[in-house]
Amino acid sequence: MKKRFLKTILPGLLLVTAVFIIGSGCGDGISSPPQDFQNYWPDIDQDSYGDASESPTSYATSYVPANYVMDNTDCNDNDATVYPGATEILDNGVDEDCNGYISITLFVDADGDGFGKETEVLELLVDESIPSGYSYYAGDCNDDDAAINPLADEIVGNGIDDNCDGDIDIVEYYTDEDGDGYGAGSALPPPAAGVNNNLDCDDTNANIHPYTREFLNDGIDSNCDGEDNT
């Protein structure tokens, strides 16, 4: 009986044990598929577009942290209103749709005196200077004559509204405290001198006067039109 056990039963048990051990090891390798790794970018503002300025991080698809996406086309990941395809807002100086351009209202300045008359909306590269023949400033009542504009001196006797204030050949002088070319207050008695207009709504700030560039959402009425564009 002992010889039979050694010759037949024992080898069989050893074989079954070996198969079980080897089979178990192979089975683990086959049942664990390789992870699928992809590049992800942070999406801080959670607009579904990743930060274009950041380097990617590779994650397995089942272990991606919150606020990471497989996109890197967001040009400002701190503002959820800025992303590819967003609505472009006129005159705020922001490239909402990340195409590298801003939309801006300019005035055609045909006579090159720094003041325009007809409005036109242009698409400009971010930080690009405005092209020749355009101005940020309106108010020109005759864009064919560079001597006629809101900062010109009124010349008596020529029958022309030289400074575009609506009065012809009437010269009055006003104090211009901030030196921006626009005065305020009441007309000065002769022989006092100053500027020929009283259009300034803040004569203590040279950056605030009619026809200057208005910026959105700054709470300031920069161009004296009665609106602060907030």
- What is the tens place of the pLDDT at every residue in 50-75? 999 999 999 998 899 999 999 999 99
Other CB atoms within 10 Å distance of the CB of residue 105: 14
Other CB atoms within 10 Å distance of the CB of residue 210: 19
Q: Using alpha carbons, select from 195, 194, 185 the residue that is nearest to residue 165.
A: 195
- Indicate the pLDDT class of residue 34, thresholds 50, 70 and 90: low
- Indicate the pLDDT class of residue 124, thresholds 50, 70 and 90: very high
Distance of alpha carbon 146 from alpha carbon 131, whole angstroms:
18
Distance of alpha carbon 61 from alpha carbon 224, whole angstroms:
56
Sheet holding 37-42, edge to edge: 57-60, 37-42, 68-69
Residue 31's pLDDT is what?
52
Element counts in the chain: helices (H) and strands (E): 2, 6
Q: Name the pTM for this structure.
A: 0.68
Using a pLDDT cut of 90, give the percent of the chain over it: 63
Residue 80's pLDDT is what?
97
Residue 114, both tokens:
């720094």
pLDDT-wise least confident of 30-39, 62-71, 105-114, 131-140: 30-39
Distance of alpha carbon 193 from alpha carbon 190, whole angstroms:
7
- 3-state DSSP call for residue 193? coil
Q: Is the dihedral of CA 192, 195, 200, 204 positive or negative?
A: negative
Residue 9's pLDDT is what?
53
Distance of alpha carbon 181 from alpha carbon 112, whole angstroms:
18
Distance of alpha carbon 123 from alpha carbon 136, whole angstroms:
14
Residue 10's pLDDT is what?
47
Residue 215's pLDDT is what?
75
Mean pLDDT of 40-55: 96
Residue 36's pLDDT is what?
85
In the predicted model, is pLDDT for residue 24 greater than 80? no
- Indicate the pLDDT class of residue 5, thresholds 50, 70 and 90: very low
Distance of alpha carbon 187 from alpha carbon 183, whole angstroms:
9
Distance of alpha carbon 199 from alpha carbon 194, whole angstroms:
13
In the predicted model, is pLDDT for residue 209 greater than 80? yes
Mean pLDDT of 128-154: 94
* Residue of higher predicted confidence among 205 and 31: 205
**Residues 102 and 95 sit within 8 Å (Cβ to Cβ):** yes
Mean pLDDT of 79-85: 97
Residue 140's pLDDT is what?
95
